[in-house]
Amino acid sequence: MPPESQMPPVEVLPQSPLTSAYAVAAQIHEVMLRDIRSWAWWMFGFAGLNFVTSGASGIGWGLLLFVVGLGSFIFKDAVMYILYAVTLAWSALSNLLSGQGGWVVFALLQGYWAFQVFRRYRSFRENQERYRQLSLMDDAAVHRPDSLASKIFPWLGGFLGMASPAGVVLLVLAGAATVLVVELEIPDWLIGLSASLIIDIGVLGWAVSLGALLSRYRYKGVAIMGLISSSLVLLTWLALRILV
């Protein structure tokens, strides 16, 4: 083997503009994936805290946070930021309706965070689309991402969105049957838990359906049905919360 001083010079070929653009998009995409993983652990932490500090009526919210955190490991997609933003916004709205000074201030802060998260969605969404397009055009691309969320979110949002009003109907029928047929009284904690689960399913269905629509996934009709169905339940709950 010839000494290093006698080695022929190695020609370093410059990267094509396409390859350079792909590399930049890949780096931004990796930043997004790390951020989504961080969100997942935060969601798990808040879910655990909610289980410890809240009563039976707060179990539904803890489950919602846990499901969103779990989804962060499954759907490595910019659309997850819609779920984060909606979760923050709904929590802010609930705290705002509490009327307590400290919670009202915190609600305003949560609303600001939700807005910032939505801005991150738009930025990461644009880069994600650019990354996918460049990966198909560049032969040097080592990874060609596929969006699992685009295949599942419209159907999942539609199912969850329509499950929320269905839960309301079942709860009313169960209550009527218990009183009229069995002549038993449903415990208040069970009613609160059931209502909480129905509302939180509606929130999740609304977030998933909205994410599917904003991301322009296929089967928009299913996502729209989920969005409308969950909106009816959530608006009814908000009206009762304000008036009662």
Q: What is the pLDDT of residue 199?
A: 94
Q: What is the pLDDT of residue 174?
A: 81
Question: Per residue in 152-191, pLDDT tens?
Answer: 999 999 999 999 999 999 888 887 777 676 667 777 777 7
Question: Per residue in 193-210, pLDDT tens?
Answer: 888 899 999 999 999 999
Q: Where are the domains of the chain?
A: 15-147, 148-244
Average pLDDT, the chain: 85
Q: What is the pLDDT of residue 1?
A: 43
User: Pseudo-torsion of CA 130, 132, 137, 139, nearest 10°?
Assistant: 130
How many Cβ atoms are within 10 Å of 226's Cβ, its own excluded? 30
CA 133 to CA 30: how far, in whole Å? Answer: 16
Question: Per residue in 203-239, pLDDT tens?
Answer: 999 999 999 999 999 999 999 999 999 999 999 999 9
